[in-house]
């Protein structure tokens, strides 16, 4: 293990939960920038970024380098198993190793929305977080108006911890977010 990651668990190069899984998670690599740049500036995909302003390739490379070196972030590229195509990113961020918790996120490319890939990626991410990273709790947020996402999160075991009133300002108005979490059983 290199010195930049001495407190990080050694992760397998790729991870698939079972034979039914249609996606594969692979730890983020700098060469994934070519994929990330295809969605990182799409406001519909990244509307959950609180300070979205658009990103240059240089800015994004700097950010990805920081994430790869981080001891409190694990970021994965998501690939479709049937053809190996890149379909998104998912991550556990803001990891607090003492309290064994972290914040999850998932981004699926717009052309792959509605196909169940986010749900499968989150299942794999939960498994990694609990079994490899050894977390006890994973938390996240979703727009209170995003009923489809909230339904999927509930299906995966997430419970509502609270409603964050007027948490994000986007397109000229404030939006509420649901804070949710799943705890290792």
Domain ranges of the chain: 7-138
pLDDT at 53: 67
CA neighbours closer than 13 Å in the CB half-sphere of residue 58: 0
In 3-state terms, what secondary structure has residue 129? Answer: helix
Residue 100 buriedness (CB in 10 A; 0-12 / 13-18 / 19+)? middle
Q: How confident is the model at residue 121 (pLDDT cuts 50, 70, 90)?
A: very high
- CA nearest neighbour of 48 among 123, 130, 104, 132: 104
Distance separating alpha carbons of residues 70 and 170, to the nearest angstrom? 29
In 3-state terms, what secondary structure has residue 86? Answer: strand
**Does 46 have pLDDT greater than 80?**
no
Q: What is the mean pLDDT of the chain?
A: 85
pLDDT at 60: 84
Q: For the domain made up of 7-138, give the CATH fold.
A: Aminopeptidase (3.40.630)
Question: Mean pLDDT across the stretch 70-78?
Answer: 93
132, 11 contact by CB (below 8 A): yes
Which is more confident, 70 or 8? 70
Q: Helix 147-155 and helix 117-131: axis angle, to 10°?
A: 40
Distance separating alpha carbons of residues 35 and 122, to the nearest angstrom? 19
Q: Which of 25-34, 98-107, 166-175 has the lowest mean pLDDT?
A: 166-175
The residue to which tokens 């390739």 are assigned = 57
Question: Mean pLDDT across the stretch 55-62?
Answer: 86
Q: How confident is the model at residue 11 (pLDDT cuts 50, 70, 90)?
A: very low
């Amino acid at each position: 293990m290199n010195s930049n990651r001495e407190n990080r668990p050694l992760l397998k190069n790729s991870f698939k939960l079972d034979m039914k899984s249609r996606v594969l998670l692979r730890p983020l690599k700098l060469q994934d920038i070519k994929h990330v740049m295809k969605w990182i500036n799409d406001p519909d995909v990244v509307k959950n970024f609180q300070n979205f302003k658009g990103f240059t390739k240089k800015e994004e490379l700097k950010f990805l380098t920081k994430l790869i070196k981080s001891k409190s972030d694990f970021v994965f590229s998501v690939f479709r198993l049937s053809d190996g195509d890149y379909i998104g990113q998912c991550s556990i961020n803001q990891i607090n190793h003492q309290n064994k918790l972290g914040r999850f996120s998932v981004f699926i490319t717009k052309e792959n929305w509605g196909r169940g890939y986010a749900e499968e990626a989150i299942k794999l991410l939960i498994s990694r977080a609990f079994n490899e990273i050894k977390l006890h709790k994973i938390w996240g947020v979703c727009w209170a108006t995003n009923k489809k996402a909230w339904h999927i999160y509930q299906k995966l075991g997430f419970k509502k911890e609270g409603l964050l009133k007027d948490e994000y300002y986007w397109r000229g108005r404030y939006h509420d977010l649901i804070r949710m979490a799943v705890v290792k059983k």
